[in-house]
Amino acid sequence: MSDRLRVTVVASTGVVGEAESWLLSLLDATDRLAVEAVLPQDGPLREEFTRRGMPSFVRATGDSVAVLGSTTPWLVRHLRATRPDVLLADGVRAALAAAPAAWLAGVRCVWVKHDHAFDGPVMALLAALTDGCVATEPALVRASRHPEATLVPSPATGPDGPRMSADLLAQALAEAARLSGAGLTGTAPVSVMTCFWNEGEGVDRLLELLLPQLTVDGDEIVVVDDGSTDDTADRATAWAADDARVHVLGNPHRGLPATRNAGVRAARNPLIACTDAGCVPAPDWLARLRAAWAEPRPADLLTGGYRVSSDGVSARAMALVGYPVPEEVLHPGPWTRVYTRLLGRAFDASTPSGRSMAFTRAAWQDAEGFTEHLKTAEDLAFARDVIAAGGRAVLVTSAEVEWAQRPTMRSTAVMYYRYGQGSGQMADGRLLGRDALRAVAYLAAPAALARGPRARALVAAAALTYLSLPMARAVRGHHWSALPLIPLVTAVRDLAKTAGAVHGLTLRLKDRRS
């Protein structure tokens, strides 16, 4: 079993009523959660948590909404000290106190709705401050005002009823925490697909890391060689000769999307996990993806996490500017939430990297495979097509790989140019919209600087706001030497990506005319 999900429960009362009995019955039926409780008063509910060996803290405030709100500052300090994976507010009144505290403390929050009270603006506020909603009646899913409300009804009768409801609650909490599969051990076989083109020694390094992770009968590694002209195919074939779980598929050189499609067609299992040459998957990378697929309602696309290593000052600055940080996903501060929602640079289940993701064969078929005319961004286009076909995507941040940042500014600019070209070719509105806004900002800034002190102050404030997150990352990591390079690196990244997007749109228009 993977690590249990650490949950802080915030209750709105100290007695054991219908809502509290519902929660206790579900906690009794699952072993996926490590629970502590925060209560507004001492009483029978605390006794129930104590009897189950679950730590509880009493912040004696009473149970009215106004008085519960007075506990928010204390709860912020408590959450910052304990750092749970997710907070569960049992009821709307508890959520009104807990959701702001969780938002300020950088903890994901899920709230439970047991009745129709507080409809209207309160629902909208809680939807904005929380990361998930659990409803106990089908009608409440619609009334919750939360786009991803989960129905977890009162446990049905029979021996499996409580466990089924408890599993749904645990899944809702794990997905809100961006840790799908936490507390589970998957048992289904997985096909790991990896593609190579003139990688040479990269074959040996990656297979050495992947083979120990094949722990279930039926696991396999599908190595697809995209027409390499070096010794890549020979190295892969040597591994296949030594281990029957490695299968090598050779193709003419057609590019990564076509190579991925060939690998999926050759894979034997319903779940296909992907990583690439140059990546260093964590020892539990595959186990985490396998566990996420063991959820009671498994997703169609599992988006893994990653870290970017860097060697040298400029490479470190480029990594700080260009990539999200796993800790920001698990415990996002208020400004990080606002910044990444508006400007990107965050892990998102709908924008996976082919270096760390998994998907079902059925989802691949529904999406009609990877789009083969794309030179880059085929993973993003694939995710878009999976979701458009009705598939569901979740984050499995714990399924982590690492790879190295490109060593030079030039190679990084080329990489982002190609990323932009891919987003332009697939005409993704969200990505192109951000590129367009950046282009307008770069074009307008010189004219604004010439308009006087007030305009220059506004431009400086906007620039500092835009650079604030990568600069904060540098400060947190004590990367002082990389700090002065962040403005330059940001400009290179943005301009290269925008130029690539323009080229990609041009190619798309040419393809449509031909």
- What is the per-residue pLDDT for 442? 84
- What is the per-residue pLDDT for 142? 77
Phi, psi for 221 (deg, rounded to 5): -120, 125
Average pLDDT of the chain is 89
- What is the per-residue pLDDT for 470? 92
Q: Please give the average per-residue pLDDT across 191-212, as a whole number.
A: 93
CA 108 to CA 350: how far, in whole Å?
19
Q: How distant, in Å, are the alpha carbons of 124, 191, 260, 291, 364 from that of 220? A: 46, 5, 15, 17, 18
Q: Please give the average per-residue pLDDT across 244-254, as a whole number.
A: 91
- What is the per-residue pLDDT for 64? 59
- What is the per-residue pLDDT for 207? 96
> Strand pairing of 86-90 and 33-39?
unpaired
Indicate the pTM of the whole model.
Answer: 0.91
Residue 117 in this model has a pLDDT that exceeds 80: no
In sequence order, the β-bridge partners of residue 36 are 8
- What is the per-residue pLDDT for 159? 63
Burial class (CB in 10 A: 0-12, 13-18, 19+), 512: exposed
- What is the per-residue pLDDT for 2? 63
Residue 62 in this model has a pLDDT that exceeds 80: no
How confident is residue 148, by pLDDT bands cut at 50, 70 and 90?
A: confident
* Most confident listed range (133-147, 231-245, 425-439, 489-503): 231-245
Q: How distant, in Å, are the alpha carbons of 11, 69, 70 from that of 60? A: 12, 12, 10
41-59: pLDDT as tens digits: 889 999 999 999 999 999 8
8-25: pLDDT as tens digits: 999 988 899 988 999 999
- What is the per-residue pLDDT for 187? 95
Name every residue whose Cβ is closer than 8 Å to that of residue 179 and which is 6 or more positions away in sequence: 5, 85, 330, 395, 396, 397, 398
Residue 154 in this model has a pLDDT that exceeds 80: no
> Where is pLDDT greater, at 66 or 150?
150
* Token pair belonging to 493: 């990244």
Question: Cα–chain-centroid distance for residue 464?
Answer: 27
* Token pair belonging to 77: 């300090």
Beta sheet of 150-151, edge-to-edge order: 56-58, 33-39, 5-11, 86-90, 108-113, 132-135, 150-151
Query: If you search the block for the tokens 């282009």, which residue do you land on?
Result: 439
270-325: pLDDT as tens digits: 999 999 988 999 999 999 999 999 999 999 999 999 999 888 888 899 889 988 88
Closest listed residue to residue 386, CA positions, set 364, 371, 356: 364
352-399: pLDDT as tens digits: 999 999 999 999 999 999 999 888 888 999 999 999 999 999 999 999
Q: Please give the average per-residue pLDDT across 215-222, as a whole number.
A: 96
